[in-house]
Amino acid sequence: MNFRSASLLAAALMTSVCAYAHDYKAGQVSVGHPYARATVPGQPAAAAYLSIENKGTDADKLLSLSSQIAKNVEIHTMSMEGNVMKMRAVANIELQPAGKVTMKPGDGYHIMMTGLIQPLKTGDKFPLTLTFEKAGKLEVSVWVEETKVGAAASAQHQH
């Protein structure tokens, strides 16, 4: 491999890494990998996930969320009560000093978006504004990823 080929390869790798590195910071709060799952046409709601880390020595709070992609955006939590999955809106998320909250499908917190303005398509991204008590407002880009359920369903319907 000559120098030019190696340089082009290195540039391509750095570009692809930068394209997928979507971490954000406001004050002492860091937000990592905001993503949502793709939806089907007519689906009225979707969930988004991310991680929030308080790197400071004082507590903070995620107070609210907003996005132009949905009429309503709320913080929700999920839990199992017996054999029943319960989901409910919560007013905020406490962020302890040096603490981290990781939102993931099927467990704990997630961002619920209802009244979707349009379907969420794999590869798209949309803005989401998080408002923290101390760190203030932070706008992030939420990347839409393919759903495993959608991928399995489309694989079964190929002719």
Q: List phi, psi (to 5°) of 97.
A: -55, 135
Q: Sorting pLDDT into bands at 50, 70 and 90, what band is 152?
A: very low
pLDDT higher at 34 or 19: 34
In a domain, 13, yes or no: no
In a domain, 10, yes or no: no
Q: What is the pLDDT of residue 159?
A: 31
Give the predicted TM-score (pTM) of the model.
0.79
Burial of residue 142, with CB atoms counted within 10 A of its CB: 0-12 exposed, 13-18 middle, 19 or more buried: buried
In a domain, 4, yes or no: no
CATH (domain of 99) = 2.60.40.1890
Structural domain range at position 73 = 23-156
pLDDT 10s digits, 86-127: 899 999 999 999 999 999 998 899 999 999 999 999 999 999
Q: What is the pLDDT of residue 5?
A: 47
Structural domains of the chain, count: 1
Closest CA to 96 of 134, 153, 140, 44: 134
In a domain, 148, yes or no: yes
